[in-house]
Amino acid sequence: MRPRYRDSHPELPFDPDTDADPATRVPLHRRPTILLWVFAGGLLGTGLRAWIEELWPTGAGQWPWATFLINVAGAFVLGALLEGLGAAGNDEGWWLRARVFAGTGICGAFTTYSTFALEVSLLGRDDAFGLAIGYAVGSVVAGVLAAWLGIALSGRFVRSSGTVS
């Protein structure tokens, strides 16, 4: 009989192959304190997004600069945050709370796919098809590049600060 294959999962808060009965573990989405951290971050992210959208309104048939910049900035911050937290320690304790507060809460509420999708649709309705396609493609490409830049800069910062060997 062959020995059972076992793989370790150091990236997880527990190893699903070796830890105690899965029924005794409470998933994050069922922990009231985690939900409160997400909610608190969400309040900040939503408020900041609403404030920026009011400062920079978009007219019919115009490039939605506020949403574009919000989504690109959010992608950058989320990339930097997750890279920095991932390099700094295990996803537990302070790191877990920072991730769910700032990443899931603030960045999740600050960035807005629904407004982005609505604005693409409205541009099409206003017969600005080229602008709609440019906005859709430009937003996705800029968001991916911003996330990559956040990851790269955060990784460089963490390595230069000597936090990670």
**CA–CA separation, 112 and 68 (whole Å):** 9
Residue 140's closest CA among 108, 156, 114, 116? 116
Rg for the chain (alpha carbons), in Å?
20
pLDDT digits (tens, 9 = 90+) for 36-84: 999 999 999 999 999 999 999 988 889 999 999 999 999 999 999 999 8
pLDDT digits (tens, 9 = 90+) for 75-126: 999 999 999 888 777 767 778 888 899 999 999 999 989 999 999 999 999 9
Which pLDDT score is estimated for 107?
94
Q: Number of H helices and number of E strands within the chain? A: 6, 0
Q: How confident is the model at residue 165 (pLDDT cuts 50, 70, 90)?
A: very low
Of residues 146 and 157, which shows the higher confidence score?
A: 146
Q: What is the DSSP string of 19-82?
A: SS-GGGPPPGGG-HHHHHHHHHHHHHHHHHHHHHHHHS---TTS--HHHHHHHHHHHHHHHHHH
Share of the chain above pLDDT 90, in %: 58
Domain residue ranges of the chain, discontinuous segments joined by +: 30-55+64-161
**CA–CA separation, 71 and 145 (whole Å):** 12
